[in-house]
A and B are shown apart, each in its own frame.
Chain A
Amino acid sequence: KAGVTQTPRYLIKTRGQQVTLSCSPISGHRSVSWYQQTPGQGLQFLFEYFSETQRNKGNFPGRFSGRQFSNSRSEMNVSTLELGDSALYLCASRLTGGGGEKLFFGSGTQLSVL
């Protein structure tokens, strides 16, 4: 089974631009979550999608948005980029999101905002 695939791996943008990141979950997984990892803050939860609906949202500004398609693939968008948005963005999938169900992470997209 193929793992979680994130594209692109690296991205360089300038302040004020917008960016779209893509995530393909493991086949059969319907829950897709996004996390932001920065050196000082660890992994911060952005949002979770399940069956094309946002089921949970973390404490991030509205500039961060996402969506999920009928094939469970997900995209994350950040508009009006700020220097502080520079981070590793991780996507994770799991079957449904229940109980102690583990997350399967992609390798991430390293975003640098100049």
Chain B
Amino acid sequence: DQQVKQNSPSLSVQEGRISILNCDYTNSMFDYFLWYKKYPAEGPTFLISISSIKDKNEDGRFTVFLNKSAKHLSLHIVPSQPGDSAVYFCAASVASGGSYIPTFGRGTSLIVHP
């Protein structure tokens, strides 16, 4: 039972255009949402996050939008660059045992063509 779903396994975009990566979740108790980027042979690295009390967070070329009523979030990358080509994981966390444990989606592989 997937609580965090990334329904697009892959996405191909032209350099300079916008990349939109989507993520859906089922648990309305999730408090925080995070995006991670992963290059081959490396561990994931944190990209951007958003609290459930907000609907938008920006950091440079990266913007995350949260639609709580639809249980949907998206990551926008503008403009896309070839170096953005990686696997992107959406994660959502809720308090458990004194900590917040992220549940990850299966990832979307983004390819940005020069």
Binding site for B on A (CB under 8 A): 4, 31, 33, 35, 40-45, 48, 50, 55-56, 90, 92, 96-108
Contacts and interface: CB of A to CB of B under 8 A. Distances in A.
9 contacts: A45-B103, A45-B104, A90-B44, A97-B98, A97-B99, A97-B101, A98-B99, A100-B50, A108-B43
Contacts of B99: 31, 48, 50, 55-56, 96-98
B43 A100 contact: no
Contact of A103 (B42, B50, B102, B106): B102
A107 to B, nearest CB: 5
A99 B32 contact: yes
Contacts of A45: 101-104
B97 A99 contact: no
A107 B41 contact: yes
For A42, A55, A56, the residue with the greatest tally of chain B CB atoms inside 10 Å of its CB is A42
- Measured as residues with beta carbon below 8 angstroms from the partner, the interface class of chain B is 20 to 34
Contacts of A103: 36, 44, 46, 102
A76 B42 CA distance: 19
Contacts of A108: 43
B98 A55 contact: yes
Nearest to A98: B100
List the 7 closest A-B pairs by CB distance, nearest first: A105-B43, A97-B99, A42-B106, A100-B32, A102-B46, A43-B104, A56-B97
Contacts of A40: 106
A92 B43 contact: yes
A106 B43 contact: yes
A101 B42 contact: no
B42 A107 contact: yes
Contacts of B103: 45
A107 B43 contact: yes
B69 interface: no
Given A56-B96, A90-B43, A99 B31 contact: yes
B28 interface: no
